[in-house]
Structure 1
Amino acid sequence: MKRILSKIVTMTVVAFSLSGVAQEKDKRISQKSLSENGVPSLITFSKMSTYKSADAEKVFKEQLALRDNQSFAKVKSESDREGFTHDKFQLYEQGIKVEFANYSLHSKKGRLESMNGEFYKIVNARIKPTLSAQEAFNRAVVHTGAKTYLWDSPKDAAAMNYEKPKGELVFLPDMENQGKERTTDKVRLAYKFDIYATNPLSRGDLYIDAATGQALFYNATIKHLGEYSHGKSKAAVKDYSSNSKRVVVSGNAATRYNAAQTIETTLNEFSYILLDGTRGNGIQTYNSSRTATYPETDFTDADNNWTAAEYANANKDDGALDAHWGAEKTYDYWSAVHGRNSYDNAGAKIKSYVHYNLIAAGYADNNNAYWNGTVMTYGDGSGAGGFDILTSLDVAGHEIGHAVCEHTANLAYQKESGAMNEGFSDIWGACIEYHTTPVKSTWLIGEDIEKRDGHLALRSMSDPKSERQPDTYKGTNWVSVNCFSPQRSNDYCGVHTNSGVLNHWFYILSIGKSGTNDIGSAYDVVGITIEKAEKIAYRLESVYLTANATFANARTFGIQSAIDLYGANSAEVIATTNAFYAVGVGEAYVDLRDTAPPTAPASLAAFGITETTANLTWTASTDNVAVTGYDVYEGTTLKGTTTATNYKVIGLTAQTAYRFSVKAKDAAGNVSAESNVIDVIATEGYCVSKGESAEAERIGKVVFGTISNTSTGTAGYEKFTEISTNVRQGAYCSITITPSWTSRLNTNKEGYAVFIDYNQDGDFSDAGETVWTKSISKMSFIQASFRIPATATLGITRLRVSMKYNGIPTACESFSNGQVEDYSVNITDSGSFFINELVGEVNAPGSEFDLYPNPTDKELNVSSIAKSGVTFKITNALGQQIGSGQLSNNPIDVSKLNAGIYTIEFNSGQKRVTKKFIKK
């Protein structure tokens, strides 16, 4: 299968710098990767480079063509265990910050090793807003539409260190087209507001256009654990937060999910509270007491022996012990494994709130946990059919992992970047569980809290498909990121679903796996252990990824992370590359030192030969690494390239001889010997079918997609293959055939058939290629609908329409009276943006109402439309009205309609709205 490759271009040597003047090869650069806008996303420098870590301004001007009205300001500098220093910079345009435009310089011993980030080519950006900050804020509140906000509750706002937003003026990149190839960068002047709504609950950065007031983008701060369909607390009420008489001690805790564990607590006067003062600036666990608030109410114990008899109660107070212990173990993981001091690397206090009432905050149930930008928040779950209290270790690690992401890559919470944001949190949840409780199921996320029938866990990293996630980029279960508008209702374009790709990459990198993925790529990856994989993943997230990164970026930067840690061409680099290949991102690892060519393709043969086309097929070549493609030759001329073992040659001339051969190649540039050579003569390959006489009856008109052909020829066979239409894999189509008789007073009974060569092998004899037949009839027109198989071969193929007197025609026959007409159809990819010309998009986003079921066989229901006083009429594909009526609360009866595609128009007297539907 042909694979869709990333738009990111990686070159081992760069021919020109970006300083504005064409130059010879810049010998200072060993590798450069370009983002979709043609700007470097990663540059690694050779030993010939003289750049130093202090040369930031010079580097940005020479390598990014930084203009005079742009500047970079350093926002952070960190050093790692490998001896690198990472300086992160923020881009400003005319003194205004450009959101997500961060670039980092990576140096070692004062020498600049590499640079990477997001940079935008901004032209003619306006810096004066039309709206005031207050006007924009009012628009933001209206857009959010919440009942209450955190600024309405000063005490809770103070606990979150939150203030009512005043609005920051920024330039916002075009978030809709992130990850798409473009030549210019569009930015919008916008006000940025941190909107914290408390009912219904949400928090995120909302960007309001400073000129129009339009809501441009919402970047969710509250990131929930996942989306799925489908007694009195022992805690004291007294607030000890201001008491200074405290002593930190170790206590024994009978946790709900992890048996007996040691936790750090604090003696506060006469009782112990869940406050650990030994890690960073502290770890504290509070009780929300099943309210939708954040009080500083402690869980307390008299003797620091937090027993099951005391806490394993109906209120699930033992879940608080898991939350506290889980926060401690999460802190320990980041400190011991990655040398990170809490989630912000500055010792930030980790606060957890247990028994938070999500229902009171506007949610349907309490089946969630989240990081809200400041603290951890845990719901109690709903039990059967949902989750138990959501304080398991991997959930704690997952949610605090969001805080780590916020302080490192800050991956925007939508589309591919949002999916990776979720994926990294799952990775950290799994790693923390592996290091802390290795007897548990490392690769299941949320198995301790799972209470739904038919589920082992919320997600599976080893088998994402078992929980309806994809294990391959754009494979089965993948959610299109080209959704109408990223929002919580569509999971911000599938962030909790598509995260399965990164999850599975990490699993394969750690454990290893062999197989064939959803896009047909065979792989065999040798795992490198979790201990090594987690270091590569952390470096990828903390050093290289930027806010709007794609999976293709993750591959580029993941490989670079492995090179930094383990060296070029190391086993770890090979595994990192091949693990991405295994999940459908990029190509397999290629050792450019490889000089062994693939074996020659064998058994080259031709089939389905027509006047203009020929199908070639051959057996696969083998290679010591991997065959990456085949070159097809016509004589000595390269005719085309494919990754498959077949190729359709087009543009041939009838009655002309051609000679073809094939060569295999690998990624190192090695080319095989030539295959066997075959000679082909372009001739008509399809069988003969015709009527011996078309004088009395013939085909008068065929309508199919954009084909609308009225014919007057009286030959028994008419060839119209120059007329074509597009059809889409898996799409419903309709065809209308109008007969023509010499005398309308002497109509005859005719039978009909339609054939399509779906596999393009030059015949109509394969299963399903007789797409429709009609028994004999005197009807003035015949309409039929059918579905193009999802497995139909892409490209141009033959459509045959046959009308036979007094009988149903077959694909290859001569009959006494009637006519046969041949046309062409172009079968397109089901994942493309092509819209069937005849059908349109059934129930497309933005429609004012829905028709269901669609397709239907008996009744048609109408929803989301006022029905009083509304009339409707139904027309067929020829524009003929064949039904009408008054809309009511009852379904519309369409059982008597023939199979086909129809238009229904609703008329309220003031407005008309139409939509297509299919009658089966």
Structure 2
Amino acid sequence: MKKELLRIGILCSVFGFTLSANAQEYIDKKITEKNRNISLVTFKSDANLKSASKTDLFKEILQLPAGTELRLAKSEKDAKGSFLDEKYQLYYNNVKVEFGNYNLHYKNGNLISMNGEIFDTKNVSISPKISSQSALDRAIQNVGAQKYMWDDAESNVDNYKKPAGELVLLPLQQVDESYKLALAYKFDVFASQPMSRAYIYVDATNGQILLSDAIIKHANGSKHNVLKNELDTDKIVSEVKDSELKNTISKLATGNAATRYSGTQSIETSLNTAGTNYILYDTTRGSGVRTYNAKKSTAIAGAVDFTDADNDWTATEFDNSTWDNAALDAHFGVEKTYDYFKNVHNRNSYDNNGSLLRSYVHYGSNINNAYWSGSYMLYGDGDRTSNFNVLTAFDVTAHELGHGVCSASAALAYQRESGAMNEGLSDIWGAVVEETYLPNKQAFTIGEDITLYAPYYLRSMSNPKSAGQPDTYKGINWQPATVAEGCATPGQDTNDYCGVHTNSGVLNHWYYVLVQGKTGTNDIGKSYSVTGIGFEKASKIVYRLETAFLSPNSTYMNARDFGIQAATELYGAGSAEAIATQDAFYAVGLGAKYNPNGPDTTVPTTPLNLAATSTTNVSTYLTWDASTDNFALDGYNVYKDNVLLGTTYKTSYYVTGLSASTTYNFKVEAKDEAGNKSAFSNTVPVTTLATGNIYCTSQASNTSFMKIQNVKLNTIDNASTGSTGYEDFSYLSTDVTKGSTYTITITPFWSGTVYPLRYRLYIDYNNNGVFTDAGETAWSQTTASSAATVTGTFTIPATAATGRVRVRVQAAYNQTPTSCSTITYGQVEDYSIDIQDVLAVSDVNSFNQTMIYPNPVKDVINIKAKETGESTYKIYNVAGQSVANGKSIENKIDVNQLPTGNYVIELVNKKGEKSTQKFIKK
């Protein structure tokens, strides 16, 4: 025993003071991202790392350069006292590096893991070239408000001061998803008219606005923006000075409240000092819960108490023309959300410091939103006609306070993937609190009590696609979130901070799958089967993930890695809970699924029958047969001339950006989740055409609210992805005949309100690269339609060019687009049609009336003859050489392998009668 104690003592000493000699031997697992950041380290269970020197730990494992240090910012224990989590902030030469955080995690006193994000501080300047005042002027100019809190006494209830700039180093995302640090001034700019609040980062060298990190997120009154900016909150923790409130009460009481949305409930109230009326002020929870009447004003300093004479807040009294019963929902909802976090996680108010929770109901006039300002909540009354009812529903209050929890813990930046997870976590807490206290409600839908438009909820965690969100990472409905994806600068109106309200669906659905379990196949072709673990365990994993592991700049993949680690620390490695956590992330397209057999060394089968079709001067379309794997296939790598071109989970790949008259060689390999790769497929040489058309750009700026879901045109029946405003499906084609009439059917999709759309179909009939010639607007639905499907007919003119031509389909809200329009809301898709002559033949044998079609032909010649039965054939090139022969099958001859050119075919029927005809191979 003494020897064992001595061994532990020596080990701790070694780790604490001479770590450099032994650092790696204590590490069990280390995850390094492609930008070289070490995001997660776990330590061996027998290491007993109790008294580590933090300086040595960070230096040896994270390799911090000179001048860079991590300083302890916060230390917290969990509800049971088993876990201790220390949070450190990154500094470079005493200048804080924004979003640079690292966390140490202890269980029963032992260091078990560490995680976070640090940034490269090499060659970074910390010498500003403009003053803080000049930078503030730029920030204020950028906001452009009429009034600011520091000069608006009627709204400034917390005595907010004009902000002083903090000099920080701000990481800016690059195309390769690495980060470059920029010296910036950071300002907390709080505007009162119109209300907004954000951290504004101003470049300290040139005054440019680098980032606006929203604190308050709100709708601007537009029908479109209200759908994407609902139920939002700020992320700043501010100190509440409200000591005078307790002087307004004489005693506490329990009242009955006939709420607007949740039936009759018990609430805690207080009798005012005059002893005449009860008010919505509960002092039993932290520093209290108090609900005010803003009286339809935005000047909340003038807000008053709701009052009741007998503490029986009945519908007769409060279900009135001003919807005062909504205040009872807000009060009850905040009380129960406080109870959930206190009773389950031992968290005292949103910041764990017991801060007072104030709600202001009837904020403004007909405002379609709810907010969290950092120290109080604001609830609009909605327009009550087309968008929202009063916004005080139970899951709304939990959503708002959920943002407060995030602000005080993970502090996820409100942009890109971190902002999407910020939204997702608030939705999760809305579902959890609702399930805990009102299990008869719909826990997995958000806002079902307040929305007045189909599908009559804001978001669905069980089916995010029904509200226009993705349920798979970078799957259908995913909005660009990185510079590489096309979102260079997060902005509220233009791109919703790079998709925070849309992409939150991925985290929402992960939580649903973790709780309920699910079997299926996701958007990227991965089949999954997850056994749910229920609300209680899933919520504990989420709480630890959010409060102990996530940091401001975390990504979805970080959340996946950290979530598995949180589940492992709570329930053990290989536990049902840890397995379900990993497999639920796999279900939404993140990472590998759990493998009980350990490392997988079996390679997938080889993809077969690689072929190229629809080749143009700049593109070609590759297809192949699917591979299989013993555990989990992870897609295919596509190579062009032995260089990796891209990765796909489908058995097809559309190659663009090629050069005319150039030969390329393509091949494909399959890969599995363990990194094993198959042998290469057959190599396919492709020579692009010498000439071809390049078409103008037409694209929608936003597909979040409405888009094209499906297009049917003759044999084309295509489900759109809807991830961008333009989809190139020109490799999909269908044969049409001159003089014939065809129908196009378009199925639109709306994520919320059904807005009327206009549609147009363009066909480049003369194949000259534009859609503006006479007759090329093939069909137009100029009267806006809200129909579930729209159809139109068009006739191929006899003068149309023979062969393949481009087709453009547009759906647009509030505009009739031209062929090259930029559409604000809607979508644009391109397809192709192959125009055939009316049974075009070069020579017809009048005796037996044998005909071939189509001509020109792409792949299969069809034979139509008076004499039934199969024919033998010979095909000759223009030099008279025989290039193919055989027997027709079901009156069809496959000529797909013939090079492009002119040919002669000789057909002999079963009677020996011959027919010789010319045809063109495309």
Q: TM-score, normalised by structure 1?
A: 0.66
- Please state how far the C-alpha of 1:111 moved relative to its aligned partner: 2.5
Q: Compute the displacement of 1:49 (Å).
A: 4.4
Where 1:573 maps in the other structure, the secondary structure is helix
Q: Which residue of 1 aligns with 2:12?
A: none
Picking from 291, 294, 306, the partner of 2:297 is 291
Flag the 1:683–1:436 CA change in 2: closer, same or farther, 3 A: closer
Report the residue type matching 2:69 in the other structure: S
* 1:267 alignment partner, SS class: strand
Instruction: Provide closer, same or farther for how the CA distance between residues 732 and 89 of structure 1 changes in structure 2, counting only shifts above 3 A.
Output: closer
Q: Secondary structure at the match of 1:557?
A: helix
Structure 2 counterpart of 1:29: 27
Match of 2:320 in 1: 313
Q: Where does 1:198-237 land on structure 2 (aligned, <5 Å)?
A: 198-224=192-218, 227-228=225-226
What letter corresponds to residue 571 of structure 1 in structure 2?
A
Aligned residue identity for 2:200? L
Q: Which residue in the other structure is 2:788 paired with?
A: none
Q: 1:531 to 1:60 in 2, by over 3 A?
A: same
Q: Deviations over 1:836-861 (max 9, x none)?
A: xxx9xx9xxxxxxxx9855449xx99
Report how far residue 128 of structure 1 moved. 2.6
Match of 1:352 among 355, 359, 375: 359
State the Cα distance separating 1:427 from its structure 2 match.
0.5
- The answer to whether the 8 A contact 2:152-2:192 is kept is no
Name the CA distance, whole Å, in 2 between partners of 1:29 and 1:258.
51
State the one-letter code of the partner of 2:262: N
CA contact (8 A) 1:160 1:375 kept: no
| Aligned-partner Cα distance in 1 for 2:158–2:89 | 26
**Cα distance in 1 for residues equivalent to 2:354 and 2:59:** 36
**Aligned equivalents of 1:69, 1:683: Cα separation in 2:** 55
Query: Residue 194 of structure 1: CA displacement?
Result: 1.0
In 2, the alpha carbon distance for the partners of 1:286 and 1:442 equals: 27
Matched ranges for 1:559-708 at <5 A = 559-593=564-598, 604-605=608-609, 617-618=624-625, 620-621=627-628, 623=630, 625-628=631-634, 666-667=672-673, 702=691, 704-705=693-694
Q: For structure 2, which runs of at least 5 residues remain unmatched after alignment?
A: 1-14, 229-242, 656-664, 696-722, 735-741, 745-762, 779-797, 825-922
SS at match of 1:208: strand
User: Which residue in 1 is equivalent to 2:397?
Assistant: 396
1 CA distance for matches of 2:730 and 2:305?
Answer: 73
CA 1:783–1:60 in structure 2 vs 1: closer, same or farther (change >3 Å)? farther
The match for 2:279 is 273
SS at the partner of 1:117? strand
Partners in 2 of 1:311 and 1:298 — Cα distance? 14
**Correspondence for 2:266:** 262
Counting only pairs closer than 5 Å after superposition, residues 38-187 of structure 1 correspond to structure 2 as: 38-47=36-45, 49=47, 51-52=49-50, 54-80=52-78, 81=80, 83-154=82-153, 156-157=155-156, 159-174=157-172, 176-177=173-174, 180-182=176-178, 185-187=179-181
CA contact (8 A) 2:604 2:633 kept: no
Distance in structure 2 (CA, Å) of the matches to 1:415 and 1:92:
24
Structure 1 segment 732-771 matched on structure 2, within 5 A: 758=731
Distance (Å, rounded) in 2 between the aligned partners of 1:518 and 1:784: 39
Q: Which residue of 1 aligns with 2:334?
A: 327
Structure 2 letter corresponding to 1:340: R
Unaligned runs of 5+ in 1: 1-16, 231-238, 360-364, 650-657, 690-700, 707-727, 734-755, 762-766, 777-781, 788-805, 813-824, 828-838, 843-850, 864-920
State the match for 2:720 in structure 1.
none
2:381 counterpart residue number: 380
Is the CA contact 2:23–2:61 (under 8 Å) kept in the aligned structure 1?
no
CA distance in 2, matches of 1:300, 1:111: 53
User: Are the counterparts in 1 of residues 20 and 60 from structure 2 also a CA contact under 8 Å?
Assistant: no
- The structure-2 alpha-carbon separation of the partners of 1:617 and 1:372, relative to structure 1 and needing over 3 Å to count, comes to same
Shift of 1:369: 0.2
Looking at structure 2, the residues matched to 71 and 581 of structure 1 have their Cα atoms a distance apart, in angstroms, of 35
SS in 2 for 1:186: strand
Tell me the equivalent position of 1:412.
Answer: 413
- Per the TM alignment, residue 387 of structure 1 is displaced from its structure 2 partner at its CA by 1.0
How far 1:594 sits from its partner (Å)? Answer: 6.3
Aligned to 2:471: 471
Q: Determine helix, strand or coil for the equivalent of 1:552.
A: helix
Paired residue for 2:447?
446
Relative distance call for 1:498 and 1:227 in structure 2 (3 A) is farther
Cα deviation, 1:581-610, whole Å, max 9, x if unaligned, reads 2222223222352679589679x5566699
For the structure 1 residues 186 and 644, does the alpha-carbon distance in structure 2 shift closer, same or farther, using more than 3 Å as the test? closer
For 2:551 and 2:289, the matched residues in 1 are separated by 29
What amino acid is aligned across from residue 358 of structure 2 in structure 1? K
8 A contact 1:151–1:163 mirrored in 2: yes
Tell me how far 1:774 sits from its aligned partner.
4.5
For residues 473 and 638 of structure 2, the distance between their equivalents in structure 1, rounded to whole angstroms, comes to 29
Partner Cα separation in structure 2 for residue 253 and residue 683 of structure 1: 75
Residues of 1 paired with 2:169 and 2:677: CA distance?
49
Instruction: Give the CA deviation at 1:321.
Output: 0.8
1:842-886 deviations in whole A, cap 9, x for unaligned? 9xxxxxxxx9855449xx9999xxxxxxxxxxxxxxxxxxxxxxx
Deviations 1:384-417 (A, max 9, x none): 1021111111000001111100001101111111
1:240-251 counterparts in 2 under 5 A?
241=245, 243=247, 245-251=249-255
1:487 aligns with 2:485: no
Does the 8 Å CA contact 2:196/2:218 hold for their aligned counterparts? no
Map of 1:820 onto structure 2: none
Deviation digits for residues 250-306 of structure 1 (CA, Å, limit 9, x no counterpart)? 111111111111101111231211111111111111111111022352111111111
C-alpha separation in 2, matches of 1:165 and 1:639: 49
Residue of structure 2 in register with 1:303 after alignment: 310
Q: Secondary structure at the match of 1:27?
A: helix
Q: CA deviation at 1:155?
A: 5.8
C-alpha displacement of 1:537: 1.2
Q: Which of 312, 319, 341 is the equivalent residue of 2:348?
A: 341
Indicate if the aligned counterparts of 1:51 and 1:59 stay in contact, CA closer than 8 A. no
Q: Is the 8 A contact 1:227 1:496 kept in 2?
A: no
> 1: distance between equivalents of 2:694 and 2:528?
41
- Which whole-Å CA distance do the structure 2 matches of 1:421 and 1:402 have between them? 7
1:509 to 489, 506, 514: 514
Deviation at 1:773, TM superposition (A): 6.4
TM superposition shift of 1:133: 2.0
Note if contact 2:524-2:650 (Cα within 8 Å) is conserved in structure 1: no
* Contact residue 129 and residue 189 of structure 1 kept, 8 A: yes
Q: CA–CA distance in 1 between the matches of 2:93 and 2:767?
A: 74
Percent identical residues:
46
Following superposition, the deviation at residue 458 of structure 1 comes to: 1.4
Q: Which whole-Å CA distance do the structure 1 matches of 2:822 and 2:503 have between them?
A: 33
1:112 maps to a residue whose letter is L
- Find the counterpart in structure 1 of residue 462 from structure 2: 462
Cα distance in structure 2, aligned partners of 1:775 and 1:150: 61
Alignment of 1:829-848 (within 5 A): none
**Counterpart amino acid of 2:166?**
E
1:888 corresponds to which residue?
none
Q: Flag the 1:166–1:49 CA change in 2: closer, same or farther, 3 A.
A: same
Q: 1:252 aligns with which of 249, 253, 256?
A: 256
Query: What letter corresponds to residue 415 of structure 1 in structure 2?
Result: R
Distance 1:152 1:36, change over 3 A: farther
Q: C-alpha displacement at 1:148, in angstroms? A: 0.5
Preserved CA contact (<8 Å) 1:852 1:861: no
1:515 CA drift (Å): 1.9
Give the AA of the match of 2:53: D
Which amino acid letter does the alignment assign opposite residue 307 of structure 1?
T
Number of aligned positions between the proteins: 690
Contact 2:472 2:522 in 1 (8 A): yes
Residue identity in the other structure for 2:171? P
Relative distance call for 1:569 and 1:56 in structure 2 (3 A) is same
CA distance in 2, matches of 1:42, 1:758: 43
The one-letter amino acid of 1:285's match is: T
**Quick one: which of 538, 541, 551 aligns to 1:546?**
551
Corresponding residue for 1:368?
369
RMSD of aligned alpha carbons: 4.8
1:457 aligned partner, one-letter code = Y
